Amino acid sequence: MKQKVIPQNALLKLGDKEVELPVVIGTEGEESIDINKLRDLTGYITLDSGYKNTGATKSAITFLDGELGILRYRGYPIEQLAEKSNFMEVAYLLFYGELPTADEYSDFVEKTTKHTLVHEDVKKFFEGFPSNAHPMGQLCSLMCTLSSFYPDSLNPNAGKEEIDLTMIRILAKMPTLVSWIHKKSIGHQVMYPLNKYDYVTNFLYMTFGMRSEDYIADPVIVDALDKLLILHADHEQNCSTSTVRMVGSSQANPYASVAAGVAALWGPLHGGANQQVIEMLEKIKSDGGNVAKWVEKAKDKNDPFRLMGFGHRVYKNFDPRAKIIKQACDNVLSKLGIHDPILDIAKQLEEAALKDEYFVERKLYPNVDFYSGIIYRAIGFPTEMFTVLFALGRLPGWLSQWKEMRESNEPIGRPRQIYVGATERDYMNIAIR
């Protein structure tokens, strides 16, 4: 087979001027043109709305190949991590780049467990939210609120140990905050962490337990939630992660940067899609379950309806996470003895869309959000909590990306623009005389 020749430079011709731009190749053979000097050399900038062709950074955390449906954290395939690892180990791997030894793992778990309690005064802020406030709005505010309780850990240039402590604190307190949000929505008293439990069980205990110590978590549920958290743990430079890095690039502290990530994740085109999927499936069900009608609506450019949980900016073959989640969904529901009619609708919808030319042509496949909500629902979470659960899973990724960005001393993120507004004109009094 003929070997592909990779040029060292790209030649750019602008009128009679020619410039050479270096070619940069990633460890998995990803090809890029380094345009760092483009404006200095030519006066031009690039225009790339939605950053569809722009690599914002070099990163050693997550690799994904959208054409081949590959996702790896620090080189380890997502399928292997989902089957054999657990969320704490994956968080360690993302934070520090290598799998922990047994001692490193128990030290990490011990440190994280030690910080699960949230300062009692944070509750005063929390109590101000109306009980029907959206969980993502509450989480975003609470994350920023936490920063005011740790003034010593706001310095993004602090030493390794201080940064480490802040990351562990945020990781440890997140399940406590998320469980409070759920408890408030159902009018129950919040629960405090019980540190005899592991990360996921403690979260389930605080979310679904009542004030008693004999909470027994169903191992099927612990396992399902752990897997979902692993599958959401990082996804390279997606909208919320890029936001975390962008905010962090101004040297904002990790709490503020993560809060910004939560805000970005909230949107229905990103993490908010998991809530929208269930709402869509419910709507289709109550409308009589005519899947073909809704597929037609999704294709109609005059109809704002889109198939939520379908399509992805980078996956153009299949989303490996969706494949694992679909199977987990079947397992969990059958083990819990639940028959959820919306799972049938989801499967029919997937089947109809995958046969339809519109979806085939545009390479639109189910994404991570298509089946995850059905599992969350089977566990007992209300729909409005789904995106918060996504945030809980994505947290190690946000923190690791923030850390990597600071350690590589990235410059402040500040894109340019092409101005298309009015050209210079003289001011004339019209309204004020």
196 in contact with ligand ACO (CB under 6 A): no
Distances (CA, A) of 126 to 144, 185, 337: 12, 12, 36
Identify which range of 152-160, 280-288, 303-311, 380-388 contacts ligand ACO by CB under 6 A: 303-311
Q: Are the CB atoms for 265 and 390 separated by under 8 Å?
A: yes
Residue 116 CA to residue 191 CA, distance in Å, equals 12
Catalytic entry in 312, 330, 356, 426: 312
Identify which range of 29-37, 173-181, 285-293, 363-371 contacts ligand ACO by CB under 6 A: 363-371
DSSP string of 269-300? Answer: TTTTHHHHHHHHHHHHHHTT--HHHHHHHHH-
Q: Which one, 188 or 313, has the nearer CB to ligand ACO? A: 313
Positions in 222-281 near ligand ACO (CB under 6 A): 269-271, 273
Contacts of 389 (CB under 8 A, 6+ apart): 178, 228, 274, 376, 381
Positions in 36-65 near ligand ACO (CB under 6 A): 50
306 in contact with ligand ACO (CB under 6 A): yes
Q: How far is CA 46 from its chain centroid?
A: 27
| Known catalytic membership, residue 369 | yes
374 in contact with ligand ACO (CB under 6 A): no
Kindly state the smallest distance separating residue 186's Cβ from ligand ACO, in Å: 26
In the chain, the amino acid numbered 2 is K
DSSP string of 165-229? Answer: HHHHHHHHHHHHHHHHHHHHHTTPPP----TTS-HHHHHHHHHH--S-S-----HHHHHHHHHHH
**Strand (E) or helix (H) holding 77:** strand 76-77
Q: Are the CB atoms for 281 and 307 separated by under 8 Å?
A: no
Tokens 């996921």 belong to: 200
Helix crossing, 386-407 with 273-286: angle to 10°?
Answer: 160
Kindly state the smallest distance separating residue 312's Cβ from ligand ACO, in Å: 5
367 in contact with ligand ACO (CB under 6 A): yes
Tokens at 50, concatenated: 């939605």
Q: Which of 171, 191, 280, 364 binds ligand ACO (CB under 6 A)?
A: 364
Q: Are the CB atoms for 107 and 90 separated by under 8 Å?
A: no
Residue window 271-300: x/- pattern of binding to ligand ACO, with contact defined by CB under 6 A: x-x------------------------x--
Q: Which of 310, 365, 381, 398 binds ligand ACO (CB under 6 A)?
A: 310
- Residues touching ligand ACO: how many (CB under 6 A)? 19
Residue 288 CA to residue 284 CA, distance in Å, equals 7
Identify which range of 123-131, 183-191, 329-337, 360-368 contacts ligand ACO by CB under 6 A: 360-368
Q: Which one, 115 or 306, has the nearer CB to ligand ACO? A: 306
DSSP letter assigned to residue 385: G
392 in contact with ligand ACO (CB under 6 A): no
397 in contact with ligand ACO (CB under 6 A): no
Kindly state the smallest distance separating residue 307's Cβ from ligand ACO, in Å: 4
311 in contact with ligand ACO (CB under 6 A): yes
Residue with nearest beta carbon to ligand ACO: 311
Kindly state the smallest distance separating residue 211's Cβ from ligand ACO, in Å: 35
Residues in the site for ligand ACO, rule: CB under 6 A? Answer: 50, 269-271, 273, 298, 306-313, 362, 364, 367-369
Task: List residues with catalytic annotation.
Answer: 312, 369
